[in-house]
Amino acid sequence: MSDRCGTISGSVHRAKESSMAEVLLFHHAQGLTPGVQEFAETLRSAGHVVHVPDLFDGHVFADLESGLAYADEVGFGTVMGRGQHTVDTLPAELVYAGFSLGVLPAQMLAQTRPGARGALFFHSCVPTAEFDSPWPAGVPVQVHGMDADPFFAGEGDLDAARALVSEASDAELFVYPGDQHLFADSSLPSYRPEAAQLLTERTLAFLAALR
């Protein structure tokens, strides 16, 4: 079964009716960039409520290495804690989404906080065992990444995504040709418009189909 620029699905077909979703979207290791904010606005324009917390206290980095160094300096536990803190005033019925580093708090909350409506993981995925909890029954999930991305394909995320698809009852994995990591952020040199457009279309279809 091929997943190149396609889908692996543990498919239980979702309802066709459109509905508004409330999304908690976490940024990647370069910070809350204009591209992340633009993506959030695209979802809002489709009628969804989108929360985009700043986990880096205003820091935005020109390259991925600098952002990861900052996260390492303040502590990944601190960053995760900031992500968890953001849900204190939000309802339980959220869609958790994240770009790269932001997948960590998104996946943690989707797996461990009751009430999730769905999850969207862009450029990253970790084994469900990391959070000492199986994937929650009935929670749909999409994972997106490039087939030659040295982070997604080369560091185990793609394998974790395939395992998640096998574990979850309603899951899709979209693998795009290319070697860029943050290909959906329009403000970065790694942006790839064609793949980003597909990712956005599939994200909007996912949100529209939620029960």
211: confidence class by pLDDT, cuts 50, 70, 90 = low
- Residue 23: strand, helix, or coil: strand
Residues contacting 25, CB < 8 A, separation 6+ = 36, 39, 40, 43, 50, 51, 52, 97, 98, 99, 102, 106
80: confidence class by pLDDT, cuts 50, 70, 90 = confident
Q: What is the CA radius of gyration of the chain?
A: 16
Report the candidate in 157, 161, 115, 155 with the shortest Cα–Cα distance to residue 138: 115
In a domain? residue 55: yes
> Which CATH number do you get for residue 71?
3.40.50.1820
In a domain? residue 126: yes
Which residue matches tokens 């529209």?
Answer: 208
How many domains does the chain contain in total? 1
Which of 18-27, 80-89, 132-141 comes out lowest in average pLDDT? Answer: 80-89
In a domain? residue 1: no
Q: Which domain holds residue 141?
A: 7-208
Q: What is the pTM of this model?
A: 0.87
In a domain? residue 2: no
